[in-house]
Structure 1
Amino acid sequence: MRLLIIGSKGFIGSHCMAVLNAHHTVYGCDVVTDYVSANYFQIDATNADYKEVFKAQQFDICINCSGAASVPDSFIHPFRDFSLNTLNVVKMLEAVKEVQPGCKFINLSSAAVYGNPVTLPITENTPVLPLSPYGLHKKQAEEIVKEYAAFFDIQTCSLRLFSVFGPGLRKQLFWDLHTKIIQSDHIKLWGTGNESRDFIYVEDVVNAISCVIEKADFKGECINISDGIETSIKSVVELFQQVHFKSFDFTFDGQQSPGYPVNWRADVSKLQSLGFKSTISLEQGLQKYIAWLQQEEK
């Protein structure tokens, strides 16, 4: 199959390019200049014209890995976040509808749409109550994805990614931990340590996307993407402490950051019904991530 990955220079997009290229003909699309790659489309960062991309090449699948991915920044620049996470999805789907209506569309959403769920694990039917502009804009994008499936017969689905990590990620908990450790042996973290997340290694995300490509219904549905294992922040920092190449100790400040949920654990039965099995544990993933960090330090 011919795959188009929009946001191919980003964290998840670049891993999709590397892994999916072994089984498909993969084309990249991003705002970054690339004079080397043959199958690559550069688009305007301020006024992307996706129709031109779809006119240039036939695709079986379009995977949208683009967008902003910062909860704090969405409070500071809400319109920018809306433009990248919601408005651009409309532009992509309009291009699909008008130029290649037979192309399936996969939109990478976020577990941020759930906010603070009342019960765990979180199923796809759990009420969505976002805590941030970022989460709300991802929710709006999901509604647009459903709209194009329901009213225009475009084959679509949204993937609700939980806490993705791996080589190339220069933000969020593990990157923040590393940057603080490099500066000091004694670090302070927000929260109490009892907060929890459901982590998934980036290559397993790509494996999940492969399962979706092969077996999903593409009727506008949402699918949780994670390992289905709840881990407290204190526990994961202790694990990071064991495998990091520099020793450190840590404390928590007891403060809650606006826009962030307290506890997360995904129900991944729908994903597993598509054939997904996690292949990389949290500890194995952290070892790979820290090996990458060591390479970056050289």
Structure 2
Amino acid sequence: MRRVLFLFIMFLQLGSIENLAAENRIFITGGAGFIGSNFLSYMVEKYPSYKFVVLDTLTSGSLENIPEEIRNSNRVEIIEGSVLDSSLVENIMTRITHVVHFAAEVDVLSSINGDDVFFQANVDGTRKLMQVLIKEQDHIERFINISSASVYGNYEEGAISEDNMLMPINPYGASKTAADRLVYAYGKSYDLPVLSLRLFNNFGPRQKLGAIPAFIARALAGQQISIHGDGKQQRDWLFVTDTARAIDLALHKVPFSDLRNEVFNLGTAKETSVIEAATKITHEVSADPGIITHVPDVPGQVKRNFSNSEKALKVLSWEPEVSFDEGLLTTIAWYKKHPKRCMEILKR
């Protein structure tokens, strides 16, 4: 009899845990973009009881980034709109429990040519989310701001830790720095459940902007790959599924007091030069290495940055699992299967 009673109590406890999990509703801004859509796919598969609301302007992001079975799922609601629309954001945030904020303008070169849209989307958009979070914080458990290593600018020596000075060298980096510090300031002022993840150079399937997809698309087409300057710029390339895992851990890590108003670098602590990445890509697709050419460098380009992510390992128990070479093979295979995306990249 005691055993039956014990099992019954355990059944009730497990049921309550499942019911609690079923109430998790995650709001993903920029969820149709490169990293956002990969994160959505990861979470939908891993947590079958969770529900998701995606908000995206569908300008740089695309519905095609979200697999059809996810688009058609009754667990996923996709809304075309902007984080600048306060009433829309407020309507969404009244019915969710967690926020992961990806939405941003991210093209460094475009930011140098004209920065208005970057500060509107990246700074004003983040500020509007913070203002709504103040009103809705009673039922929102965590707000994860997706920041960027661009906040650090150039560092000539050593790996970059979270304690390094923030010295952005282009308008995009300045806008992400402002957003990063806005989240921190609002968190401190209003005791909000926020944290920021500073991502180093992400790459992987579905990416449209950035060096890796441009190199792959051009190599597959046998077109010229243009390298700014000597190509010795060092990058810390992080595969996108490793980023998704880190965000997942940040959403679920307990106690939250270890994360509240903290920042975490996400990188591999390994450097690969731009020219080395281009050379690897031409080799893997059997393209003529002579298609790699050099063009004059442009101002505002980071020469070197790579991450010290020991804090993420210590607090989140996270470390990258996918090597650059392994991730590159997976990424190349994806683009070979998606010639339409390659054509979109070539038209830029």
Relative to the length of structure 1, the TM-score reads 0.91
Q: Secondary structure at the match of 2:338?
A: helix
> Which has more helix, going by share of residues?
2
User: Contact (CA 8 Å) 2:222, 2:288: kept in 1 or not?
Assistant: no
Correspondence for 1:17 among 19, 40, 43: 40
1:249 match: secondary structure: helix
Cα deviation code 1:20-49 (max 9, x no counterpart): 122261412223497845331525346353
Structure 1 residue identity aligned to 2:34 = F
Check the 8 A contact 2:27/2:96 in 1, yes or no: no
Structure 2 residue 276 is matched with structure 1 residue 235: yes
Secondary structure in structure 1 of the residue aligned to 2:306: coil
| Corresponding letter in the other structure for 1:4 | F
Task: Call closer, same or farther: CA 1:203–1:26 in 2, change over 3 Å.
Answer: farther
Separation (CA, whole Å) in 1 of partners of 2:252 and 2:156: 33
Q: Does 1:30 align with 2:44?
A: no
SS at 1:284 equivalent: helix
Provide Cα deviations, 1:157-192, integer angstroms capped at 9, x if missing partner.
Answer: 111111100000012111221333245465442121
Alignment of 1:29-178 (within 5 A): 29-32=55-58, 36-38=72-74, 39-45=76-82, 47-48=85-86, 49-55=88-94, 57-59=95-97, 61-103=98-140, 104-178=142-216
> Residues 297 and 31 (structure 1 numbering): CA distance in 2 closer, same or farther, change over 3 Å?
closer
Other structure's SS at 1:5 match: strand
Q: Distance in 2 between matches of 1:76 and 1:235?
A: 27
For the residue of structure 2 that corresponds to 1:126, the secondary structure is coil
Distance 1:183 1:189 in 2: 17
Whether the 8 Å CA contact 1:186–1:248 is kept in 2: the answer is no
> Whole-Å Cα distance in 2 between the matches of residues 41 and 295 of structure 1?
25
**Over residues 233-259 of structure 1, what are the superposed CA-to-partner deviations in whole Å (9 max), with x where a residue is unaligned?**
222222222222544334453632222
Give 1:221's aligned amino acid: E
Q: Structure 1 residue 120: deviation in Å? A: 1.6
Question: Within 5 A, what are the aligned runs for 1:238-253?
Answer: 238-253=279-294
How many residue pairs get aligned? The number is: 296
- SS of 1:131's partner is coil
Aligned CA distance change for structure 1 residues 172 and 235 (closer, same or farther; 3 Å): same
Question: How far apart are the structure 1 equivalents of 2:203 and 2:152?
Answer: 19
CA RMSD, 1 decimal: 2.2
Contact 2:27 2:93 in 1 (8 A): no
Q: More displaced, 273-282 or 127-136?
A: 273-282
Gaps of 5+ in 2: 1-23, 64-70, 341-348
Distance 2:126 2:91 in 1: 15
| d(CA) in 2 for partners of 1:193, 1:205 | 25
CA distance in 2, matches of 1:290, 1:234: 17
* CA distances 1:100-159 after superposition (whole Å, capped 9, x unpaired): 344211111111111112432001111111111110111111111111211101111111
> Does the Cα contact within 8 Å between 2:29 and 2:56 map onto a contact in 1?
yes
CA distance in 2, matches of 1:293, 1:43: 26
Counterpart CA distance in 1 for 2:280 and 2:112 is 31
Q: 1:54 is aligned with what amino acid? A: M
Match of 1:12, as an amino acid?
I
- For 1:271, what is the secondary structure of its paired residue? helix
Give the Cα–Cα distance (whole angstroms) in 2 for the partners of residues 236 and 272 of structure 1.
26
What is the percent sequence identity of the aligned residues?
24
Q: Distance in 2 between matches of 1:71 and 1:271?
A: 26
TM-score (norm 2): 0.79
The alpha-carbon distance between structure 1 residues 94 and 245, as it changes in their structure 2 partners (threshold 3 A), is farther
Give unmatched runs, 5+ long, in structure 1: none
CA distance in 2, matches of 1:118, 1:295: 38
Q: Is the 8 A contact 1:185 1:249 kept in 2?
A: no
Q: Are 1:206 and 2:244 an aligned pair?
A: yes
For residues 100 and 188 of structure 1, the distance between their equivalents in structure 2, rounded to whole angstroms, comes to 47
Structure 1 pair 186–96 and aligned structure 2 pair: CA distance change class (3 A) = closer
